[in-house]
């Protein structure tokens, strides 16, 4: 009964999307600049490696985005997403914020609910990722999709002779990552900083480098520190993304009240080659390990997860992509015996309407 009701709600949501899109032309023609966009992410998976449901094809998420200038100073965004979870489809607000790029010169801010602008994957919509599912470092440290929260972000392009964009943010931090509760008021809310640099590379290439830090202390007194580095390198030839290198490396230093400091290191690197403007092939390498895991008697416990994820993408346009991926995973979490896991994933994503442009 619960699932039936959820699916009816999900169907209603899709009908709303279908209703909203034809009205797009009418609403934008009144000069308000209103834009409506829908994105659907369909994923199927077999095998035991990686994340997500097994042995079925499902609508992982369907997003309806409405965004527009609010007036001469502000812009607004409402992004509602339907997910299919264990209880069927359910809704949540992914983004609901007001922002401005005009109040302060060379600066911008957003106030409301949004994915935190840290690293690379966290602020990129999942259906726009160059691979199907999150590497373990993203899923374990943050969320299989992203850490969303409510707060404020401010960024400014510093007046330096080189590109330097500095972003700071503070959000509630009552919950962090995946949670179905309202959480508890943290001792120190989420606070983060991202320093972004851009460098020109030979042959019309470019590299964006991000230095990140996120911290919080929850209501139990556990202090989390997440320093991280993200790098994205691109070479384009017209519409063809000739070469992409995307990588993040993060550390999590967790200092619980009454416990000992635990340091975990994780990362991924994804080189991808574009054979044509439509066909791409890349291999993602993942690693994840707890550095100071010990037995009760003091012996060090070697542990780690390492994965290779070859991914083939057919992207006939900016609006659709079909993707196939294979995951080979060597998994030795904690003291458990090692396991070799395999998984196959298929993904179809499409955008209807004008999807907001992403950063570099």
- Binding footprint of other proteins on the chain (CB under 8 A): 52-53, 83-87, 140, 144-145, 175-181, 183-184, 218, 220, 222, 254, 256-260, 262, 264, 290, 293-299, 301, 303, 333-336
Give me the helices (H) in the chain, please: 2-20, 24-28, 136-141
Instruction: Go through the chain and tell me how many residues it has.
Output: 360
Nearer to other proteins among residue 31 and residue 299 (C-beta):
299
Instruction: Report, in Å, the least distance between residue 197 CB and other proteins.
Output: 31
Q: Are 254 and 266 in contact (CB under 8 A)?
A: no
CA pair distance 115, 285, nearest whole angstrom: 24
Give me the helices (H) in 128-195, please: 136-141
Instruction: Report, in Å, the least distance between residue 287 CB and other proteins.
Output: 15
Helix %, strand %, coil % for the chain, to 5?
10, 55, 35
Nearer to other proteins among residue 141 and residue 235 (C-beta):
141
Nearer to other proteins among residue 308 and residue 335 (C-beta):
335
Instruction: Report, in Å, the least distance between residue 254 CB and other proteins.
Output: 6
Kindly tell me the sign of the dihedral angle through the C-alpha atoms of 287, 289, 291, 295: negative
| Neighbour count for residue 145 (Cβ, 10 Å) | 25
Q: Are 306 and 13 in contact (CB under 8 A)?
A: no
Nearer to other proteins among residue 185 and residue 237 (C-beta):
185
End-to-end CA, the chain: 45
Instruction: Report, in Å, the least distance between residue 352 CB and other proteins.
Output: 23
Nearer to other proteins among residue 179 and residue 276 (C-beta):
179
Nearer to other proteins among residue 121 and residue 196 (C-beta):
121
Instruction: Report, in Å, the least distance between residue 231 CB and other proteins.
Output: 26
CA pair distance 351, 128, nearest whole angstrom: 10
Instruction: Report, in Å, the least distance between residue 333 CB and other proteins.
Output: 4
């Amino acid at each position: 009964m619960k699932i039936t009701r959820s699916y009816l709600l999900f169907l209603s949501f899709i009908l709303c999307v279908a209703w909203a899109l034809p009205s797009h032309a009418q609403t934008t023609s009144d000069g308000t600049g209103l834009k409506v966009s829908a994105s659907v992410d369909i994923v199927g998976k077999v095998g035991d490696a990686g994340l997500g449901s097994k042995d079925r094809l499902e609508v992982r998420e369907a997003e309806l985005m409405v965004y527009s200038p609010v007036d001469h100073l502000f812009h607004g965004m409402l992004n509602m997403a339907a997910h299919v979870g264990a209880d069927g489809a359910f809704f949540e607000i992914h983004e609901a914020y007001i922002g401005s790029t005009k109040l302060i010169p060379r600066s911008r801010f957003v106030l409301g609910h949004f994915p935190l602008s840290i690293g690379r994957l966290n602020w990129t919509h999942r259906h726009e990722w160059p691979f199907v599912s999150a590497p373990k470092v993203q899923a374990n440290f943050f969320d299989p999709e992203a850490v969303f929260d409510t707060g404020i972000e401010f960024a400014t392009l510093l007046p330096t002779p080189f590109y330097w964009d500095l972003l700071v943010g503070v959000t509630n931090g009552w919950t962090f990552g995946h949670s179905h509760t309202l959480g508890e008021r943290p001792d120190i809310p989420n606070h983060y900083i991202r320093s972004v640099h851009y460098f020109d590379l030979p042959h019309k290439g470019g590299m964006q480098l991000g230095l990140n830090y996120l911290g919080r202390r929850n209501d139990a007194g556990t202090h989390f520190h997440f320093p991280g580095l993200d790098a994205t390198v691109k070479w384009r030839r017209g519409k063809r993304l000739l070469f992409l290198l995307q990588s993040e490396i993060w550390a999590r230093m967790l200092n619980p009240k009454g416990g000992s400091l635990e340091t975990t290191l994780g990362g991924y690197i994804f080189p991808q080659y574009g054979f044509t403007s439509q066909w791409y092939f890349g291999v993602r390498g993942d690693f994840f390990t707890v550095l100071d895991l010990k037995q009760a008697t003091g012996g060090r416990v070697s542990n780690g997860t390492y994965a290779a994820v070859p991914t083939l993408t057919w992207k006939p346009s900016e609006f659709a992509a079909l993707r196939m991926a294979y995951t080979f995973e060597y998994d030795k979490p904690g003291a458990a015996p090692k396991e070799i896991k395999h998984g196959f994933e298929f993904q179809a994503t499409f955008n209807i309407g004008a999807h907001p442009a992403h950063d570099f």
